[in-house]
Amino acid sequence: MSSPQPPVLSRAWYREPWPWILMAGPAAVVVAGFVTLALAVTSFDGLVADDYYRQGLGVNRDIARDERAGALGVSAAVHFNADRSEVRVVLSPRGAAGASLRLRLVHPTRAGEDQSIVLAATTPGAYAGGVAPLRQGHWRLSLEDPAGTWRVAGDWSAAQDATTLASHPRADVR
């Protein structure tokens, strides 16, 4: 004789753990998709320029200014004070510019952080000016005469107190 089996109790599906475990993955992907969409809609990366063609044409002009600075032998030592509120530039050779220079601080990803500063001559070959607060990170510095005939450039990290700017000769691509 067989003994009677106990009755099998069935629970509702939502009381079982496996359906919830299986639904957790797709639900997490849907939530991540909405978070990504919200970030894409509310933030502006500023990397794409509307006038990219005109900017591309300007590259040749920039190369000519770099070559002119190289021909003149222009270089500059850029020094920031401790709180990054002032910048001092020592230009070599001293007669390469007049009463002022223009220094551009360009953040690589945040165009709204870029600054253009007019530096006034303090002594022959030395220039100084004020700087708005700077974000930590790497910056691209560009120094040019007021007429825009030459330009020296270089990279600078906000963790450093100083850097040197020089012309970079263009390598011919063959």
Higher pLDDT, 64 or 170: 64
Q: What is the pLDDT of residues 98-153, one digit of tens each?
A: 788 999 999 888 888 899 999 998 988 899 999 988 888 899 999 998 888 888 99
Best-predicted range by mean pLDDT among 46-50, 51-55, 66-70, 82-86? 82-86
Model confidence at 18, pLDDT cuts 50, 70, 90, reads very high
User: How far, in Å, CA of 37 to CA of 32, rounded?
Assistant: 9
Query: Closest Cα to residue 162, out of 90, 75, 78?
Result: 78
Is the pLDDT confidence value at 60 over 70?
A: no
Residues 6+ apart with CB under 8 A from 45: 109
Per-chain mean pLDDT for the chain? 84
Whole-model pTM?
A: 0.62
DSSP tag of 26? H
pLDDT value of position 102: 93
User: How far, in Å, CA of 68 to CA of 79, rounded?
Assistant: 24
Is the pLDDT confidence value at 156 over 60?
A: yes
